[in-house]
Structure 1
Amino acid sequence: MRVLGRLLLLPLVAALVLAEDNSIEPKGTPRCGASLNQPSKALAIELNADANCIWQIQRTTDETIRAIFSYFQFAPSSSCETESIKVYDGPSTNSTLLGQICSDTDAIPILESSSDSLTFLITTNSVVFTRNFFVFYYFFSETDAVNCGGELTGPNGTFTSPNYPAAHPEFTYCIWHIQTDKNSKINLQFQDFFLELDQNCRFDFVAVYDGPSTNTGLIGKVCGRTQPSFESSSNTITVVLSTDDSNSYRGFSAEYTSIPLPAPVQPDASLTCSSDSMTIVLSKSYLASLGYDETQLQLNDPSCRPVVTDSIVFSFPLTSCGTTKQDDGQSITYTNIVSLSPTGNVITRQKSLEIIAKCKMENNSTVEIMYITKNNIIQNITSVGRYDVSISFYDSDSFSNPILESPYYIDLNETIFTQVSLHSTDPNLLVFVDTCIASPQPDFGSPTYDLIRSGCNKDDTVVTYPPLEHYGRFKFNAFRFLRYFPSVYLQCDVVICDSNDTDSRCTRGCISRQKRDISSYLWKTNAVVGPIRLKRDLRSAGHSESLTKAEAEETPNLQQHSFYTLSFVVLISNIIIVVAVILKYHIKHQAGYSYQKLQSSY
């Protein structure tokens, strides 16, 4: 009976898919470019040779535009130079480039606009071939977003799609990052799987990536009714669930297990980068196979010598040993070269070898790239690190005495001095505070309040200081959130620039959404600090100043019986005030959260 039920169900599913497929684009929709403003839309695009078509998506509400390029078929043997989809964060192709999609793109691009419009341009070459693309987009707000995804660690675990086994919500977008122990790989098995059926998985799909991100390494994309399984090559794997607004089914249930890997083989060469230094490790056996030893190695600066143990190790600050730095407006790259000089004056039978080590700083991390040339063959070795950035409060504008207490108790309207610090050995860097938001919750769920946005002061008490070497500084007056949230947390997005670039993002200051001519910056990082609490919260608990912060938060407020009557009167008065405020609130039709500035009575 179960088999018969599935056979009866398949025609129904196919009919629903066909109905959606036929309703993607109504008649009259331009096939080469369009201006769109619907809250959501799917586009099945068919183009031939020599096309140059622009689609512009414009939102009218305060929401984010998310565009999903779930299927693309370029001409065979095309390249990014001849055929591509370019996506821009703004109303034209002069806006900031969000990303480029080509025939060799090893991912399913999902891009979001930070402005009120998103534009994409499809260009094709002169090859006679019918290209097919599928794009769907929708507007969403953070409050409407489905709560799903997250970090999964440990040797094994399980996870499900939202609402499983009930139907998943519309416009679901979830990312699960799975990481197991080092020297292991991951087996991912879907025990139950039911998403909308489509030959190319254009509408609803699960995408699985072999690694820690969704940028590259796509293992597979699946939909329909199946029980797929995947295996990673390392101890990280990423799973993405994306759905549209129709034909919702029960989603999936999955489990993962870790599989131990054989002991790693010592690599010929490796590179590690941090905010402070670069470390290059070469194996002795590798050098011996080329007919060299460690005495013949040198960096750009020959005076920098390696430490020789079981391996040959060059470890040095990023700005020393002849390291060069290049800022292309989107990233900063530090480069050094390990060179090996063959012996002999006329001829040599030794292989000439050059190791080019690059630390590329971008995308909230430090990405290391090493190129090794072996007789004109280039090998690529990569690893990932992170910027070392911190944020602290200070007691004055001298920024000499950090506040070490947590929570930080302060009076309303008292000035809070804040400093973001970059810990790096490169003196020619600037730190710019791009965005800072406040929230009563450490996870920065609703509500939030903007102090700084895109370098623009959004609160009238915020004062920003000019960038100073590795420090971004600003001050603002203390406030509290309404509805009696006790704490305030800060989260700041930080941009790092080369101080020698006089036209960098760090020197341009406030950028409004209308100024779309500003060049993009691909990497940033963020830091969180808090909580801030009001001193009156500390004093109202009936504590002396000699008590610890833990006592201030946890010890009960013990009042004498003689104060009970006064407390009751104060309670009744507060109730009357609250009722009056609520009536005034509804009369003025004010909705949602906000913040309140009060004059300090202390």
Structure 2
Amino acid sequence: MQTLRQLLLLPLLAALALVEDNSIESTGVPRCGASLHDLNKALRIELNANASCVWQIQRNANQTIRLIFSYFKFAPSSSCETESIKVYDGPSSNSPLLGQVCNDTDAVPVLQSSSDSLTFLITTNSAAFTRNFFVFYYYFSPETKIENCGGQLTGPNGTLTSPNYPAAYPEFAYCVWHIQTAKNSKINLKFQDFFLELDQNCQFDFTAVYDGLTTNTGLIGKVCGRAQPAFESSSNVMTVVLSTDYANSYKGFSAQYTSAPLPGPVEPDTLLTCSSDSMKIVLSKSYLASLGYNETHLQLNDPSCRPVITESVIFSFPLASCGTTKKDDGQSITYTNIVSVSATGSIITRQKSIQIIAKCKMENNSTLEVIYITKSNIIQNTTAVGRYNVSMSFYDSDSFSKPVRQSPYYVDLNQTLFAQVSLHSTDPNLLVFVDTCIASPRPDFGSLTYDLIRSGCSKDDTVVTYPTLEHYGRFKFNAFRFLRSFPSVYLQCDILICDNNNANSRCTEGCISRQKRAISSYTWKTHTVVGPIRLKRELRSADHSESLTKADAEETPNLQHYNFYTLSFVVLISNIIIAVAVILKYHKHQAGYSYQRIQTSY
């Protein structure tokens, strides 16, 4: 009966998907490039050889764009160098490169802008082949969360359901579940109930499952429609994604995962962590012993850097030391060092030669850690993504020697304020550049903002920027206040970090218009906030109000005594007046005077 019901549903689902498919094709989107201003839109793109087409998405929405390439088919023989989709974080292809999609992409690419504009460029090679792409985008507010949408699952087994299950899932949902079980185990994921929009290529609503903790690579499968799919990971981590569009919502899914031990030898027990100024590699003694080594056999690129031996072997060293190499690939800076484990003996050996290659990849506002180790000349790779530690403070003078610790920072109107952005890193070959600084009366930087610096250019007449100095970016401006009686000013700055060996980096260009900004011109970006700043007259007003309140409190008992004496005096006078009136009346009666009623005639 259940099978029959599913068979009857399939034609209906296919018909609904066909209706949505036809509505997309009828939108009249130009085949090669377009300028798009809708809040959301789905595009079916078909290109032939030697194409170079640009789509620009821009709208004054004060929101973020999510762009999803749910289906792409390049020429079979193409490479990433000859055929690709490049996505730029801004209104043109001169904006910073956000990501790239090509034939080797092992994922469903989902890219998110940092503002309300985004651009993507599709180029094809000379091969005679029809390329097909399906992409949709929508604007959304990152702070708006969908209830029960994604999360972290860490037990040996557990369940996950789509939002609102078993009711219809919401539109424009993007939910990510990260599953992590015990080491040396694998994950089995089975969907007991699964009902998403049916489409041959799962372009509209889909669930994607990844063999790892990221959604950038390792796609196991993408499913939609009516099914009971099952997936298995190769390790103890798995990621599940639900993505939905604007139409045809169904009940979603209910899934259960279990974990099971991995067969074969024990996996190497290693750990790599990356910070703004150091790298830390931890190796277990038991793993080294299983290979026939102990801690005396280990060394870094610089053999003089020795580990600390406890229950584990720990290498901890600054990023720019111990023979660490640095590579700038235009999108990130990677620090690499190698732990060598060499066999003993001068002529022959029966031990495996091992290398542990540790990489700290400093990416834009993200943290990733990777480590890999060789077994019998097989490299086990470990990579970690780290963040640079950046802070911003006010200083009392242009010597920038004494930071202002008080908060709020009370200043005089038009007083010169000195601000410094500091990069806390041991790598001396980095530059800091203050790209943009905006002020706002609110800490959430809502609709009311004022530009001090934009794209490295001073937008306020009082702003003066100082030359770049090692790990510091400095500028000054005169204090001001917002109209409409806002009491505070907050400052938010976008900070770029570049390799100073790159003479053409964004950090060395200074003020430049957005239209002329170079591609991939910086390697790392973050923002920092400082405030509030308030005027001293408000401080004096507050002190004056406090003193008035205190004086009022001291005078209150005196006023109460005064009121008591006044009331007593009034009562005494009233009693005297009443007594005098009674005496006068008595004397009148004694003199023979009396009142006589006057007769009234009718």
Q: Deviation string for 1:292-351 (max 9, x for gaps)?
A: 333333222222222223332222222222223333333222222222344444444333
Which residue of the partner structure matches residue 426 of structure 2? 425
2:514 aligned counterpart, secondary structure: coil
> In the alignment, which residue of structure 1 is the partner of 2:84?
84
Residues 360 and 383 in structure 2, CA contact (< 8 A), matched pair in contact too? no
Give the distance between the partners of 2:474 and 2:256, measured in 1 at CA. 44
Partner of 2:478 in structure 1?
477
**Is 1:147 aligned with 2:148?**
no
Aligned 1:25-424 pairs, distance under 5 A: 25-26=25-26, 31=31, 33-37=32-36, 39=38, 41-47=41-47, 51-58=49-56, 61-62=59-60, 67-74=67-74, 79-81=79-81, 83-88=83-88, 96-111=96-111, 118-123=119-124, 126=127, 131-137=131-137, 140=139, 147-149=144-146, 168=170, 172=172, 174=174, 197-205=198-206, 214-216=215-217, 239=241, 241-244=243-246, 247=247, 249=249, 267-365=268-366, 367-424=368-425
Deviation, structure 1 residue 205: 4.8
Q: Which amino acid aligns with 2:145?
A: C
Q: String of CA shifts for 1:478-527, please: whole Å, max 9, x gaps.
A: 33444444433333222222233332221112232210434343532222
SS at match of 1:21: helix
User: Could you tell me which amino acid in structure 2 is paired with residue 434 of structure 1?
Assistant: D
Cα 1:181–1:476 shift into 2, 3 Å? farther
Who is 2:570 aligned against?
Answer: none
Q: 1:176 to 1:373 in 2, by over 3 A?
A: closer
User: C-alpha root-mean-square deviation of aligned residues, in Å?
Assistant: 4.8
Tell me how far apart the structure 2 counterparts of residues 273 and 519 of structure 1 sit (CA, whole Å): 23
Contact 2:192 2:256 in 1 (8 A): no
SS in structure 1 opposite 2:420? Answer: strand
The aligned runs of 1:499-510 (5 Å cut-off) are 499-510=500-511
Please state how far the C-alpha of 1:161 moved relative to its aligned partner. Answer: 5.8
Q: What letter is aligned with 1:400? A: S
Structure of larger gyration radius: 2
Identity %: 67
Q: Once the two structures are superposed, what CA deviation does each residue of 1:451-476 show, in whole Å capped at 9, x if it has no partner? A: 32322223333222222212222223
Alpha-carbon distance change, 79 to 511 in structure 1, aligned in 2, over 3 angstroms: same
| 2:199 aligned counterpart, secondary structure | coil
1:595 aligned partner: none
Kept after mapping to 2: 8 A contact 1:56/1:117: no
SS in 1 for 2:524: coil
Indicate conservation of the 8 Å contact 1:489/1:532, yes or no.
Answer: yes
Match of 1:537, as an amino acid? E
| Secondary structure in 1 matching 2:296 | helix
Q: Specify the code of the residue in structure 1 equivalent to 2:390.
A: V
* Counterpart-to-counterpart distance in 2, 1:353 and 1:181: 27
Give me the whole-angstrom Cα distance separating, in 2, the residues matched to 1:541 and 1:186.
61
Q: What stretches of structure 1 of length at least 5 have no aligned partner?
A: 547-555, 562-602
Q: Which amino acid aligns with 1:87?
A: V
Deviation at 1:77, TM superposition (A): 7.5
Question: Contact 1:56/1:91 (CA < 8 Å) preserved in 2?
Answer: no
Deviates more, 1:391-400 or 1:336-345: 336-345
Other structure's SS at 1:377 match: coil
Partner of 1:439: 440
Equivalent position SS for 2:51: strand
Change in 2 beyond 3 A, CA 1:269/1:532? same
Checking the alignment, whether the CA contact within 8 Å between 1:278 and 1:359 is kept in structure 2 is yes
Structure 2 unmatched ranges of 5 or more = 554-602
- TM-score by length of structure 1 reads 0.72
Contact 2:361/2:385 (<8 A) preserved: no
Distance, in Å, in 2 between the alignment partners of 1:225 and 1:444 is 44
What secondary structure, in the 3-state scheme, does the structure 2 residue paired with 1:147 have?
coil
**1:287 and 1:482, CA in 2 relative to 1: closer, same or farther beyond 3 A?**
same
Query: Any idea what SS the aligned residue of 1:503 has?
Result: coil
